[in-house]
Chains A and B, each alone.
Chain A
Amino acid sequence: MALLEINNLHVGVEDEDIKILNGVDLTLDTGDMHAIMGPNGSGKSTLASVLAGREEYEVLEGDIHYDGEDLLELEPEERAEEGVFLAFQYPVELPGVSMTNFLKESVNSVREARGQEELSSAEFLQQMRERADMLGLDADLTKRSVNEGFSGGEKKRNEIFQLAMLEPRLAILDETDSGLDIDALQSVANGVNKLRDGDRGFLVITHYERILQYIVPDRVHVMMDGQIARSGDKELAQQLEEHGYEWIRDEVAAAAA
């Protein structure tokens, strides 16, 4: 059974006559790393949002199965408990919510749902130190409010840190690489690679090919106009980098004609 199976997914914006996804099909197995690329506005982030359960989107048609279960039936927090994780494109600043308290509550609610014991404070702090070290995250950040005053790179690194703490089975990275300098990009990629242990699946949404030089995908999908226009191996990413997206659009149009 596939970890994630998306069938003919059509999505619009609630209360507005806008359609963003027009029949997406995608299958991801445990252990796989898939990249979704595509121009701005093609629907990449919408797909990530729908997978995480953002409520302003309305599924008009199609279904999503996660580990055989109907994902769309689950609340966002239930998806997290079941092992779905979204690394946000724009991580939210939460002044007054301490990183440590937030993460502890988050980790323990997910552990509880998975039938694991709550971590003691000592265990939690140790795990937090280890994972922060692993990602090269400044441990002082864990003493601050969630994302408050973090630089762009720190915010993205913090998303991967949370990924490491929550140990999801399906991780969706929504443009985690955009806006990063080369050092931050490498440390984010290193973090992802360390977590790539065969027990989870990754869906990496990106605008650029460069992160895929560090995180080598098993499959590359190109999304255009709310559909997967083409899929291929990592060579496809290289072709997109060299030739842009228009040739795919032309080919798709030619095939349809």
Chain B
Amino acid sequence: MSTALDTDVRPEDRFISAFEVNHGQALNGVNASIAQQREDAIERFSQLGIPDNSLEAWKYTDISKTIDRPYTLSLAAEGPSVAPSDIEPFTIDAMDAHRVVLVNGHVDESLSDIGDLPAGVVVSSLAQAGETHPDVVEAHYGQYADAEDEALTALNTAFVQDGAFVYVPSGTIVEKPIFFLHITAGDEPLFLQPRHLFVVEDGAIAKIVEAQHALTDAQTFTNTVSEAFVGERANLKHYLFQDEGTSASQVHTRAGTQKDNSVYSTNTITFSGEVVRNNATIEADGSFCESNLYGLCIGKDEMHVDNHTQMDHVQPDCNSNELYKHVLNDESTAVFNGKVLVTRGSQRIDAYQQNDTIVLTDDANIYTKPELEIYADDVVCSHGATTGQVDEEGVFYLRSRGLSERRAHILMLQAFTDEVVSEYKIDPLRDYIAEKIRQRFASYFA
């Protein structure tokens, strides 16, 4: 079932009327609190409206224009049929993983290969988890993402239907990566709203890999909300590789919270997309937390990529490291806004933020802004931003050792991105991404 959005009316009203028409279609019935959250969320969405660039947080990315297109709001209970050969280029077979393929936000079991999981670990669709593990879902769902102030999170919440789910119980180690391969398929211009929930309890260790690809050239918009809980002494590495092609736009909102002595690392690489807005928020809600936020954007053509990060230090004795890099070619645009909040009483925080950009053409643009809000007095917070070209002195050095000018440029760009790519602590995944990046750079100097 789907609903075409009527473009004659205000875009907000299209979603609101679609909500009313499809009232019973979503993750309802499973649990009364989710149904109530949906009602509240559409109300909140209606009040907030779709953000435009009159809002400071959306100054350089006018998402309202991208949303205001005649998308089909997909409310089907499952995705279209996709052949294994269609997803072959994306499966990263060298990576031994618990693989789950989602098509348009729905798990496709025939394409998935979850394999054997340690006892108690759950890797499934969110809809299924609502039935099998209602207590876990209820305890964490909707707790970390902000549906109160973020219109697109409210919109996702109102239409919540399905998505990815991971539950790693206390003390459990999942050695192999859990790999979610998100596929957008179908001929229609789709508006998708997957919703993911990752729960890693006290002392548990897991690596979650997400990759986004599209099998369609139709214009699509994906409004993802993803929530993560990282318990005491737990360690979660969370990697996201975005490569949906030139006709796909998305807002990807990730909200994670972590408890005492835990480590939470995220790393987002944006390789393609039309308009991509990533909101990554981490709340270090415990002492002695380590938080790592890494990101890389390889922009070309007219790609527009906006990374908004928010690091909330609300407890003392934590450290956070943030590094986002961009390599921008053609007329691509990147936005980086890194907010660090240290609340009163959150002493002895060590927060580091860096954003570095290489601009390859006169028409590429970078807007970078650190935003530090510090209410404690015993903290070390640093930030830096650089923008420049490839270091020609380095290129000459390499050429004087026999490397061609082309090879020298590729190597210099690879070296620049390596600082982020090398943080992918899964060798076959890192090699796969590094090779894709190398090929992209090679294409620039053909």
Contact = CB atoms under 8 A, between A and B. Distances in A.
A81 B412 CA distance: 20
B401 A95 contact: no
A56 B254 CA distance: 48
B399 A76 contact: yes
A162 interface: yes
Given A75-B405, A92-B393, A92-B394, A80 B419 contact: no
User: Mostly helix, strand, loop or mixed at chain B's interface?
Assistant: helix
A54 B408 CA distance: 15
Nearest to A91: B397
Nearest to A86: B400
B102 to A, nearest CB: 34
B402 A113 contact: yes
A185 B399 CA distance: 27
Nearest to A49: B396
Contacts of A91: 397
Given A53-B400, A76-B399, A77-B399, A96 B414 contact: yes
Contacts of A81: 402
B415 to A, nearest CB: 3
A53 B397 CA distance: 11
Given A94-B412, A94-B415, A162 B394 contact: no
Nearest to A105: B403
Contacts of A105: 402-403, 407, 411
A80 to B, nearest CB: 4
B87 to A, nearest CB: 32
B403 A97 contact: no
B389 to A, nearest CB: 15
Interface string A154-172: 0000000010001000000
B396 A94 contact: no
Interface in A155-208: 162, 166
Interface string A75-108: 1110111000110100110111100001001110
Nearest to A84: B400
Contact of B401 (A75, A96, A102): A102
Nearest to A55: B396
B111 interface: no
Nearest to B416: A96
Contact of A77 (B393, B405, B417, B419): B405
A47 interface: no
Give the contact-size bracket for chain A.
20 to 34
B402 A166 contact: yes
A102 B404 CA distance: 12
Central interface residue in B393, B402, B403, B416, by most chain A CB within 10 Å: B402
Nearest to B414: A96
Nearest to A94: B394
B398 interface: yes
Contacts of A107: 402
B68 interface: no
B418 interface: yes
A52 B414 CA distance: 25
Interface string A42-85: 00000000001111000000000000000000011101110001
B415 A97 contact: yes
A177 to B, nearest CB: 20
B397 to A, nearest CB: 4
Nearest to A106: B401
A110 B402 contact: yes
A76 B415 contact: no
Interface in B377-407: 391, 393-394, 396-405, 407
Contacts of B394: 92, 94
A106 B403 contact: yes
B400 A96 contact: no
Nearest to A113: B402
A76 B405 CA distance: 9
Given A54-B396, A92-B393, A109 B402 contact: yes
A86 B400 CA distance: 7
Given A54-B396, A92-B393, A94-B394, A109 B411 contact: no
B388 to A, nearest CB: 14
Contacts of B397: 88, 91-92, 94
Contacts of A106: 398, 401-403
Central interface residue in A88, A94, A107, by most chain B CB within 10 Å: A94
A149 to B, nearest CB: 14
B401 A80 contact: yes
Nearest to A76: B399
29 contacts: A53-B400, A54-B396, A55-B396, A76-B396, A77-B400, A77-B402, A77-B403, A77-B404, A77-B408, A79-B400, A81-B402, A86-B400, A91-B397, A92-B393, A94-B394, A94-B397, A94-B412, A94-B415, A95-B415, A97-B411, A97-B415, A102-B411, A105-B402, A105-B403, A107-B402, A109-B403, A109-B404, A110-B402, A166-B401
Given A80-B402, A97-B411, A105-B411, 15 more contacts: A54-B396, A75-B399, A75-B405, A76-B399, A77-B405, A80-B400, A81-B402, A85-B400, A95-B415, A96-B416, A96-B418, A105-B402, A106-B401, A110-B401, A166-B401
Interface of A: 52-55, 75-77, 79-81, 85-86, 88, 91-92, 94-97, 102, 105-107, 109-110, 113, 145, 162, 166
